[in-house]
């Protein structure tokens, strides 16, 4: 089994294909974290923990005269509260007597087959080829009877441990949770660790920052009600010498789409603690006797093969264990064109058909009608919430419009933003109480829209019914689900004053219920997520959405950096990427080559394009299909780092059997009479030969030569030239 309990030594060993995670019930029934790293079988690693009197360190009362045992210096699996540990903690509970205290000690455990399931929250699932076992460890405070159930599901072959926590009020009076993390992990020495994160901003999402751990708390968070453009719920702890191909690193990805907190602290003894979970700002959740609270899941992995090894683990897992939609693995996704940058709000049914006809010649297979088709929506000041067709724009009616598109041999997609409402809308006039607005205070506007209180069941039901009525009215193939602002004015008219701290989490739970209902009843529709671009790009959203729009910024050179950062965690098939009119100095071929490092599509007015450009786009659409399996299901390698100044950027996709590879190179500024540039490949079989077309000739080279000697890149080319090299194994 992947989970082994040694009753004599009281150790729990969690084994994946190449790693071991170990903990132990130790002194006074506290659960200690012992080890996470390369496989060690079931050897007891508790010998590494040393105890001595550290001075001025608190000792649990029942440790009696034993001054060498302090929770301030012991590696814990889940922290206590007010028990002498002054580091960052994983729980803050206010008990019925007003005290803030939790002293969780081991009382029981159980092991069973299959992954755990969380109430109202998404989690990963097991495929028929997966071996998955789950461990539950129950910690209990003997005074308050509050329990924390630690949940671990081990996906053995996938090298993933999914972790969460469940709080159970076993007492006879209500308690308040004011902080609850999904995971806690303690490293005995983290002085040689770096922390990597993906900060950004609107239009520049998921950039990469790496910094050494120092003796203070490194806090990565979003308080925006969504996972945000500014941060991503993903961090990496890596040894300082770790690079793309070598060294140890640990990944932590939170499956949550709201505000989150991740903290890492290097303490006075160079021990490193990481906690991760729901955002604790303005969070307060009441639990009556017998009630439970589930935290979102964290997907943890360890790689001894550098950042690339970690990325490959996550990419494979995300492609196979998050989303059950047929569009993830079984159905090839069409090349689409979105109408937003082509028409904005200024379109009608005639214009849409005109764009579709022109786009068809570009190899486009689906047109997506973006914002402006519903209610009284001619700009962003009105109409949100009124999900009925605007008959002044779609005069023929939605079913007939879809039929016209179908006659062109194309599919039809449609845009929604169901979580928001305009003040100038029928919905707001009918139900102003459905809006989040603090009593006596005017609500914060953003993009001239307000936030619906989707934590309320009746609001959820309205959205489900409204969206389903549109989807059921015509042969719609694709939905783009958008949210164009952060969540503010946290207040619900449906909750009493002492439960307003539950609003942020109830919002996220409401969103998940809405998506479960709508997507679950429309398995033949492909859903793409969007949040003003990439503002809610997180693992939980990929449970519902086949892909997510990476950014509203479609400038190709910016997208190279965006794709690079995203690829640390997310696979190519999850990243929406389009060719647009942005950056006119960049050739269409290069824009398309960069967009193929994503799901590929177009964001422009096809009806205004030159015939030559249309032919170029068709050629690139054909390349997208030709290399679809390589891009979507192959192993992805980052060959250059766009955050380090250089003359060119490159990436590579290699088939799982290493029979085929695709290398993309984009030149930036090759200096006049400068040195020859080479791109060294990765992931090939060193002992096999590969055929590659280069400068009009077929070259046959060994994998060893290509990986160590590289491909010489032509020099006498304009800036922003792209090269796509296709390699096939010989024999």
CA distance 146 to 97: 13
Spell out the alpha helix ranges (H) of 494-566.
503-520, 541-544, 556-566
CA distance 309 to 317: 13
Closest of 366, 387, 424 to residue 600, by C-alpha: 366
CB 165 within 8 A of CB 181: yes
Q: How deeply is 241 buried, as exposed, middle or buried, from its count of CB atoms within 10 A (0-12, 13-18, 19+)?
A: exposed
How do strand 411-416 and strand 366-369 relate by DSSP bridges? Answer: parallel
CA distance 368 to 5: 53
Q: In DSSP terms, which residues pair with 226 in a beta bridge?
A: none
CB 537 within 8 A of CB 566: yes
CA distance 608 to 432: 43
Of the listed 72, 267, 349, 482, which one is catalytic? 482
289: Cα within 13 Å, side-chain hemisphere: 6
* DSSP at 71: T
- Residue 581: CB atoms within 10 A of its CB come to 15
* Run of H or E including 306: helix 306-321
Phi/psi at 450 (5° precision):
-115, 165
User: Could you give the 3-state DSSP secondary structure of residue 214?
Assistant: coil
Q: How deeply is 68 buried, as exposed, middle or buried, from its count of CB atoms within 10 A (0-12, 13-18, 19+)?
A: middle
CB 115 within 8 A of CB 132: yes
Closest of 76, 307, 71 to residue 185, by C-alpha: 76
Of the listed 267, 370, 552, 605, which one is catalytic? 552
CA distance 213 to 118: 33
CB 5 within 8 A of CB 11: yes
Q: Give the largest Cα separation in the chain, rounded.
A: 86
CA distance 393 to 373: 7
Angle at which helices 457-471 and 503-520 pack, to 10 degrees? 30
CA distance 426 to 432: 10
Phi/psi at 158 (5° precision):
-90, -5
Q: How deeply is 55 buried, as exposed, middle or buried, from its count of CB atoms within 10 A (0-12, 13-18, 19+)?
A: exposed
Q: Is-catalytic flag, 482?
A: yes
Which residues in 225-313 belong to E strands, given as ranges? 234-239, 249-254, 260-266, 272-278, 285-287, 292-294, 298-303
The residues annotated as belonging to the active site are 482, 552
């Amino acid at each position: 089994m992947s989970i082994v309990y040694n009753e004599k030594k009281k150790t729990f060993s969690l084994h994946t294909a190449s790693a071991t995670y170990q903990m132990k019930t130790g002194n006074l029934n506290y659960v200690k974290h012992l080890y996470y790293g390369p496989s060690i079988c079931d050897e007891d690693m508790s010998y590494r923990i040393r105890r001595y009197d550290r001075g001025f360190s608190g000792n649990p009362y029942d440790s009696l005269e034993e001054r060498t045992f302090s929770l301030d210096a012991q590696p814990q699996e889940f922290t206590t509260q007010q028990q002498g540990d002054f580091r960052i903690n994983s729980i803050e509970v206010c008990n019925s007597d007003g005290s803030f205290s939790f002293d969780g000690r081991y009382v029981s455990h159980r092991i069973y087959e299959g992954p755990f399931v969380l109430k109202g929250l998404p989690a990963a699932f097991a495929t028929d080829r997966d071996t998955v076992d789950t461990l539950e460890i129950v910690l209990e405070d003997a005074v308050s009877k509050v329990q924390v159930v630690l949940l671990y599901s081990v996906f053995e072959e996938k090298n993933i441990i999914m972790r969460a926590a469940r709080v159970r009020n076993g007492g006879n009076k209500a308690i308040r949770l004011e902080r609850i993390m999904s995971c806690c992990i303690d490293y005995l020495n983290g002085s040689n660790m770096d922390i990597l994160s993906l900060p950004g901003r609107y239009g520049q999402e998921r950039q990469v920052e790496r910094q050494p751990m120092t003796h203070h708390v490194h806090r990565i968070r979003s308080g925006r009600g969504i996972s945000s453009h500014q941060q991503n719920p993903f961090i990496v702890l890596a040894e300082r010498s770790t690079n793309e191909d070598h060294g140890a690193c640990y990944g932590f990805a939170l499956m949550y789409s709201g505000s989150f907190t991740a903290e890492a602290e290097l303490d006075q003894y160079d021990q490193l603690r990481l906690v991760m979970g729901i955002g604790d700002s303005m969070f307060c959740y009441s639990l009556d006797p017998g009630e439970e609270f589930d935290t979102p899941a964290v997907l943890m992995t360890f790689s001894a093969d550098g950042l690339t090894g970690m990325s490959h683990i996550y990419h494979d897992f995300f492609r196979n264990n998050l989303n059950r939609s047929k569009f993830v693995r079984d159905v090839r996704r069409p090349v689409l064109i979105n109408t937003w940058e082509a028409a904005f709000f200024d379109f009608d049914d005639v214009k849409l058909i005109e764009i579709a006809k022109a786009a068809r010649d570009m190899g486009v297979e689906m047109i997506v009608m973006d914002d402006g088709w519903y209610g009284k929506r001619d700009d962003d000041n009105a109409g949100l919430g009124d999900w009925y067709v605007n008959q002044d724009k779609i005069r023929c009616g939605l079913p007939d419009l879809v039929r016209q598109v179908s006659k062109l041999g194309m599919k039809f997609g449609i845009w929604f933003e169901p979580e928001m409402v305009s003040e100038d809308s029928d919905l707001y006039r009918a139900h102003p109480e459905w809006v989040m607005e603090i009593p006596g205070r005017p609500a914060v506007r953003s993009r001239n829209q307000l936030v619906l209180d989707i934590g309320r069941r009746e609001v959820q039901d309205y959205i489900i019914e409204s969206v389903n009525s549109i989807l059921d009215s015509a042969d719609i193939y694709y939905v783009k689900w958008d949210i164009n602002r952060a969540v503010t004015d946290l207040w619900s008219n449906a909750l009493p004053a002492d439960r307003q701290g539950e609003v942020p989490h109830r919002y996220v739970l409401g969103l998940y219920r809405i998506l479960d209902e709508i997507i679950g009843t429309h398995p033949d529709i492909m859903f793409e997520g969007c949040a003003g671009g990439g503002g809610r790009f997180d693992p939980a959203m990929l449970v519902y959405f086949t892909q997510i729009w990476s950014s509203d910024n479609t400038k190709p050179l910016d997208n190279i950096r965006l794709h690079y950062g995203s690829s640390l965690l997310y696979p190519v098939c999850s990243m929406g990427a389009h060719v647009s009119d942005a950056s006119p100095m960049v050739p269409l071929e290069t824009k398309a080559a960069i967009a193929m490092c994503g799901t590929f599509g177009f964001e422009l007015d096809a009806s205004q394009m030159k015939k030559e450009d249309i032919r170029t786009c068709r050629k690139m659409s054909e390349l997208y299909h030709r290399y679809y399996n390589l891009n979507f299901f192959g192993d992805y390698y980052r060959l250059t780092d766009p955050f380090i100044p250089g003359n060119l950027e490159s990436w590579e996709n290699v088939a799982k059997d290493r029979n085929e590879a695709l290398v993309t190179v984009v030149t930036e500024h090759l200096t006049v009479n400068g040195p020859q540039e080479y791109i060294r490949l990765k992931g090939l079989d060193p002992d096999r030969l590969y055929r590659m077309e280069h400068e009009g000739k077929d070259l046959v080279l060994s994998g060893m030569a290509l990986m160590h000697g590289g491909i010489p890149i032509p020099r006498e080319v304009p800036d922003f030239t792209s090269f796509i090299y296709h390699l096939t194994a010989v024999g």
